[in-house]
Structure 1
Amino acid sequence: MTYKYLLIFLFLSFAISLNAQTYITNVTVADVEKQVLIPNQTLVITNDLISDIKKSTKVEIPADAKVIDGSGKYVFPGLTDAHIHFFQSGGLYTRPDAIDLRSERPYDLEIDYAHKNMEVVLHRYLQNGITNVIDLGATYNLLKQKDAYKNIANLPSVYMSGPLLTTYQPDAYNDLENDAPFTLVKTVEDGINMVRAQLPHHPDLIKIWYIVGRDGLSLEESAQKSLPLVKAIINEAHRNNLKVAVHATQRITAQLAVEHGCDFLVHSVADELVTDDFIQLLKKNKTILSPTLLVRDGYVNTYSQSTETSIHELQKADAYQLGTLQDLKHVPDTVLVSKYKKRTTSEASIRNLDKRTSIMMTNLKLLSDAGVLIATGTDAGNIGTLHASSYLAEVQAMYKSGMSTWDIMTASTVNGAKVLGKAHEFGTVSKGKKANLILLDANPIEDINNITALNKVINNGMVLNPNDILKDTASDLVQRQLNGYNLRNIEAFLEPYADDVEVYTNMDQLQYKGKATMRAKYSKLFDNTPNLHCELTSRFVQGNKIIDNERVQFGDKTIEASVIYQIENNKIKKVFFMKSE
């Protein structure tokens, strides 16, 4: 082939790749703005954009096009989690300002984990149909790392603020330099300069942690005292064309933040029922609110050792971090553990949590019914609120508050885009928008749980099978069964095992075979054994084999054991128990 013809060939190949098309035929398209379902449509994706949507009978499909049969399926915009934190893992050791366990796990290991696992966390979000995430309170090092994930088709889009500009800084985060998630603002000049300091790091927005009442003043006095700082930050951010999110959990802080230009209210008002004046203020200012209904529950359930984890979360969460939520059962500092458990299980604490939850639920219903823009956010990364998998529980709580399924899907899609001022780019199934979509086998308008009925995830035009986005490792499988064991959840415990699993002692003595026998044995164990808990003391990975050293408590009895798990075809096929003498 001559050089001339080679150039022509390469040009034509490049042109074909640039115009690669995918057709989703006979699908029901969701219009989340008009809140209607449009059946029998064919949606055309060209490269990374939605290039056409027409009635299926009016579309001619080229012979070389990629075709997905959408019969009986529903296409929605990709979901947005409008409030997460990459610097937090969701596990027990991630917030030393909340419970200080740095003697058990140094905080620098948490920082290291956040960086090394950020890409895995992003895959986990995409696997759950979440094509956009907004980190509202990161670090300078995470902002730098974010740049490595731009425009990668098999990763969700990441938007991020810099460190939280705060009126109160927990001592646990002192001296962390570029890994610090908080920056204390003491003066108006501090506020202005700290916004300017973030600009070279290219944040997508600015976040304020408006914490009041820790100075001994009343909530209103404390809020008014810090208001000049909040105003200065908002004004400087807006001068630099950056939107501002404000953490505000009291009516007074929320009201003052909105009155002075806050774009995005983070968390619900939890101390009093909102009035019509407050509602109209948010509507007038077009302020968006993310309710984050369940984040407090994650802390309480962990400290009280009363976590009840769904099968969805057990299968879709980071198994290791989920497992750490059970670690208070074996942390050596029993005085600390007892203090936290007593505090969260006291009658006063339970009444307070119930009251806060009731107020938040009622307020969300009032705000949503009045037309205030709501954006779904989980605050994932906080203790007990695990990345990606917690999204389902959050929308379930929104539904329990009285929001309609349509309003929840709007909050979970286009309103997330509006937080960033990017509704013209993504958030609806519309011609010219980004092809960030989810194809569902069931209708979430009929049942909000159907957001998990993922057939395909389409991200930047790339069609992905959810199970291919993030593959289980051998360690994932073994940790999942350990989590199921500690939670006494027989279905979660059995899920990673092969149907014909073989269980041995001393490497060569077959004790039994088959998941049915395992179910009978462990169901009885879970039902009849008090204080059942397995502590993992060490883990070694050798190819398809995992070697765990465990300390297992059965009532008042504790044994040491080593267990070898052999993985075949992405299931635990053989287990070898070796008791320590």
Structure 2
Amino acid sequence: MIAYLLALTLGAQSPAADAASAAGAWLVADVSVIPADTDEVLRHRNVLIRDGRIVRILAPGAKAPVSDADATIIDGRGKYLVPGFVDAHVHIATEGAIRDSKDPVISTLELGQAHGYDRQVMLGFLKAGVTGAANLGGSARSDEDLLWLRGEIAAGRIAGPQLYVGKRINGPRVAVALQPASTVPASKPEAPTTAADGAAAVRQARERGYDFIKPYQFLNRETYRAVVDEARRQGMVTTGHLPELGCASCADRAFAFAHPMDNIAHSEELTRFARIGSDLSPQDLDALADAVAERKIAVTPTLVTLKTIVGMYVQRAVPPVPGDWATRVDPVTRLDWAPPANRYLSQAFRDQDGADTFSAGYDFARVLTRQLWKRGVPLTVGTDASLPGLAFGVSVQQEMIELREVGLRPIDVLRAASINAHRLFDPKAGSGAVREGERANLVLLDADPLADIHNVAKIAGVFTQGRWWPMAEIDRRLDEGRAFEQALSRQIQAHKAGH
């Protein structure tokens, strides 16, 4: 029955079948399924998806019920169905961020009313197989945009990944420096220096609808603890930076691990802790890895972030974006990556203490990440895009390659890019695996990612928010947005010419 339906449908597809469809039913026929919650590969399966859920995974030769005859057939022969990828650490550019920008060119751009910029960014994620993205803090208007976009995407009015919006909570930098008390600004929830205001900031974020909390490093000892503890009371995940060390009101390493976040946002954060007193010693590597594992903290390594920063320091240029993705980088991002906006290319960045040890820090973080994995620490894939050189979407694939290169098995890389992120940000919504009953946030690949992790870039299409998006349709819509991006380029050039 399935073979007959496959032949009939493939022979009679109309042009409309290539377009993204409204929420409905699809049958991915004769596909290899990589559930990712185990090491198994399910060959020659027929996967029925209806209203955004995986309804049935049929074994070879099984008959499809008559009630499923309305499903649109997708040819899965020679393809692999895997969980959708999640960027667990990203800073999404939005029109709100453009309006909040301090750059005299960017802040004056005319964007129109159709959210054309936001739509292009969201499509870029889908093109890379990214069906989920966790934003770790932005400007006030950027956060407002993201909360709005989260609802529009969930309702199917805008194409994009499922968004998890984090609230960054940070104190004034001067509050954790060796400064006279009189120079420290008065505490307030927007920049707390007291436990009461730190807890209030978490409650306000909960009321506003944020999905998780990002504690940042310039919280003093007691405020940091209050933020972490209140987030736990409110049932909110914490992922962020470890607190500063070495000042009178700072935490120390023991304090940070005694009051742990759910997730540490960079391996670099642990490297920063290792630089204090021990100078990146092998003994400290083991001690840090043990402490993370014992406290059951997850980690988002963001190795590609460190690699890119080191590349800019050594080469004095932004590393190239892979393949044809370079043509997809929008003009606003390109302006932000160029001097003087790009601080990583500035002389001040090069002159800071310890700059000549960036490469050593990257090496330490890579070895540390491997040790965390060997101890069973849940790792997730994050990129810190759009840091210069890291484009939205494709940087997730770059980080997956980084994790493979430090020794993770391909199946463990897939888990880091999918299941582990779902468990961190959305544990009540299912496992994220390709299993019956789970949400259909999926990627259909043209080649086996377990044979070569680079195959995660060979994408035939994605399922997200109850819809099927063939790659041809994603590219078509991105190309339609080129006119909008070209108009932005003309505005930027006109502004430069006028100055």
- TM-score class, shorter: 0.7 to 0.9
One-letter amino acid of the counterpart of residue 289, structure 2? I
| SS of match in other structure, 1:429 | coil
1:126-141 matched pairs, under 5 angstroms: 126-138=126-138, 139=140, 140-141=143-144
Aligned residue type for 1:539? R
Cα gap change, 1:112 to 1:242, in 2 (>3 Å): farther
Percent identical among aligned pairs is: 21
Inter-partner Cα distance in structure 2 for 1:407 and 1:249: 29
What count of residue pairs does the alignment treat as equivalent?
438
Q: TM-score, normalised by structure 2?
A: 0.75
Distance 1:284 1:203 in 2: 29
For 1:145, the equivalent position in structure 2 comes to 148
Determine the structure 1 residue equivalent to 2:79. Answer: 73
Residues 401/94 of structure 1: CA separation in 2 closer, same or farther (3 Å cut)? farther
AA aligned to 1:320 is P
1:58-457 matches, within 5 Å, as: 58-60=62-64, 62=66, 63-87=69-93, 102=102, 104-105=104-105, 107=107, 117-138=117-138, 139=140, 140-142=143-145, 144-153=147-156, 154-162=159-167, 164-169=168-173, 183-211=190-218, 226-248=220-242, 256-268=255-267, 269-271=270-272, 272=274, 274-299=284-309, 301=311, 305-312=316-323, 314-315=325-326, 317-324=328-335, 327-328=338-339, 340-342=345-347, 351-422=356-427, 424-457=429-462
The CA deviation string for residues 232-271 of structure 1, in whole angstroms up to 9 with x for no partner, is 1111111111111121388987764442141111111224
Which TM-score applies when normalising by structure 1? 0.66
* Structure-2 residue corresponding to 1:46: 50
Secondary structure of the corresponding residue to residue 118 of structure 1: helix
Summarize deviations over 1:186-217 as a string: whole Å, max 9, x none.
111110111122222111111101248xxxxx
**Could you say if the C-alpha distance between residues 160 and 478 of structure 1 is closer, same or farther in structure 2, counting changes exceeding 3 Å?**
closer
CA RMSD of superposed structures (Å): 4.0
| Residue 460 (structure 1) aligns with | 465
Q: Which runs of 5+ in 1 are unaligned?
A: 1-16, 97-101, 172-181, 213-225, 481-535, 542-547, 552-559, 561-581
In 1, Cα distance between the equivalents of 2:244 and 2:40?
A: 35
Contact 1:23/1:61, CA 8 A, preserved across alignment: no
Secondary structure, aligned partner of 1:32: coil
Aligned: 1:55 with 2:56: no
C-alpha distance in structure 2 between counterparts of 1:19 and 1:353, whole Å? 48
Check the 8 A contact 1:247/1:266 in 2, yes or no. yes
**Using a 3 Å threshold, how does the CA distance of structure 1 residues 538 and 374 change in structure 2: closer, same or farther?**
closer
Following the alignment from structure 2 to structure 1, what is the Cα–Cα distance between the partners of residues 263 and 112? 30
* Amino acid in the other structure paired with 2:325: L
Taking the aligned partners of 1:285 and 1:350, their CA distance within structure 2 comes to 31
Shift of 1:371: 0.7
Whole-Å Cα distance in 2 between the matches of residues 71 and 190 of structure 1? 57
Partner Cα distance (2:107, 2:254) in 1: 35
Instruction: Please report how far the alpha carbon of residue 279 of structure 1 lies from its aligned counterpart in structure 2 after TM superposition.
Output: 3.1
- Report the secondary structure of 1:191's partner residue: helix
Note the C-alpha offset of 1:475: 7.7
Greater length-normalized contact order (CA 8 Å, ≥ 6 residues apart): 2
Unmatched 5+ residue regions in structure 2?
1-20, 176-188, 246-250, 275-279
Shift of 1:323: 3.1
Is contact 1:169–1:183 with CA below 8 Å preserved after alignment? no
Which of 1 and 2 has greater Rg? 1
Does the aligned pair in 2 maintain the 1:426–1:433 contact within 8 Å?
A: yes
Contact 1:149–1:155 under 8 Å retained in 2: no
Report the equivalent of 1:529. none
Q: Is the CA contact 1:302–1:326 (under 8 Å) kept in the aligned structure 2?
A: no
* Structure-1 separation of matches of 2:489 and 2:39: 52
Displacement of 1:185 in angstroms is: 1.7
Residues 88 and 95, structure 1, Cα contact 8 Å, conserved in 2: no
Instruction: Give the CA deviation at 1:59.
Output: 3.0
Q: How much has 1:400 moved relative to structure 2?
A: 2.2
Q: Helix, strand or coil for the counterpart of 2:490?
A: strand
Q: Per the alignment, do residues 168 and 24 of structure 1 end up closer, same or farther by CA in structure 2, a change over 3 Å counting?
A: same
TM-aligned CA deviation for residue 312 of structure 1: 2.9
Tell me how far 1:388 sits from its aligned partner. 1.6
CA distance in 1, matches of 2:393, 2:221: 34
2:46 counterpart SS class = strand
What is the CA distance between 1:50 and its match in structure 2? Answer: 0.5
Contact 1:248 1:254 in 2 (8 A): no
For the 8 Å contact 2:330–2:485, the answer to whether it is kept is: yes
Contact 1:208 1:244 in 2 (8 A): yes
The residue correspondences of 1:24-35 to structure 2 (distance < 5 A) are: 24-35=28-39
Question: Retained in 2: the 8 A contact 1:49–1:460?
Answer: no
Deviation, 1:114, is: 13
Which amino acid is the alignment partner of residue 306 of structure 1? A
Q: Is contact 1:537–1:549 with CA below 8 Å preserved after alignment?
A: no
Q: Deviations over 1:510-529 (max 9, x none)?
A: xxxxxxxxxxxxxxxxxxxx
The one-letter code of the counterpart of 2:196 is E
2:134 touches 2:164 (CA, 8 Å); kept in 1? yes
CA distance in 2, matches of 1:291, 1:110: 37
The separation in 1 between residues aligned to 2:494 and 2:87, in whole angstroms, is: 37
Whether the aligned pair in 2 keeps the contact of 1:78 and 1:132 (CA below 8 Å) is yes
Q: 1:396 Cα deviation (Å)? A: 1.9
Q: CA deviation at 1:58?
A: 1.7
Which deviations, in whole Å up to 9, do the C-alpha atoms of 1:328-385 show, x marking residues without a partner? 3xx6xxxx99995445667986641111100110000000111100011111133333
The one-letter code sitting in structure 2 at the alignment partner of 1:42 is N
Amino acid at match of 1:312: G
Q: CA separation in 1, counterparts of 2:49 and 2:294?
A: 37
Could you tell which deviates more after superposition, 186-195 or 293-302? 293-302
Shift, 1:183, TM fit: 3.4
Say which SS state the counterpart of residue 186 (structure 1) adopts: coil
Aligned equivalents of 1:191, 1:281: Cα separation in 2: 25
Q: Give distance in 2, aligned partners of 1:445 and 1:423.
A: 28
Partner of residue 518, structure 1:
none
Contact conserved, 2:370 with 2:407, CA < 8 A, in 1?
yes
The answer (yes or no) to whether the contact 1:94–1:382 under 8 Å persists in 2 is no
Amino acid at match of 2:47: L
